[in-house]
Amino acid sequence: MPNGIDLILADHQTVRGMFDQFDASHDAGLIRQVIDVLKAHDDVEQAALYPMVWTILGDGNLSQRYEIAHSRMRTQIDLISTVTGPPLIDAFRALRELAIDHMAEEERDVLSVLSERANTQQLEVLGARILRANSRG
């Protein structure tokens, strides 16, 4: 069974790669692809990652903080679907900033701590839940 943290990190790398590809090509088709990947990633984290994270790490105000970050990205995605031309590029750049910052924070403050505190079995359970959440989407 795959390690759940590796699956989340692989998604993050995919998203970063697509943003870089967009910078190089300005291929508008990539905007839709990035949005699809981010939406699926959002679903997977809400369904599988975060419930386990708040149980193992303790919540504090972290869950609220992460809920706000995800909800800002969803709002930005909704905005993107209402604009075209240069405003679309600006809106997409703003989404990139939100996503890049959030992924860096998540890797630093959540995934690294989870990898220290969770045992192999818990990370495999997380992996299975992520795959199940992915296949529902």
Rounded Cα gap, residues 134 and 66, in angstroms: 20
Retrieve residue 46's tokens. Answer: 């809400």
Q: Which is nearer to Fe ion, 47 or 88 (CB)?
A: 47
- Closest separation in Å from C-beta 99 to Fe ion: 9
Instruction: Give the number of other CB atoms < 10 A from CB of residue 120.
Output: 9
- Closest separation in Å from C-beta 79 to Fe ion: 19
For 118, residues 6+ apart whose C-beta sits below 8 A from its C-beta are 52, 56, 126
Q: Name residues contacting Fe ion, limited to 85-114 (CB under 5 A).
A: 106
Rounded Cα gap, residues 124 and 34, in angstroms: 27
Q: Which is nearer to Fe ion, 45 or 96 (CB)?
A: 45
Choosing from 18, 22, 45, 77, the residue that interacts with Fe ion (CB under 5 A) is 45
- Closest separation in Å from C-beta 91 to Fe ion: 20
- Interaction site with Fe ion (CB under 5 A): 45, 106
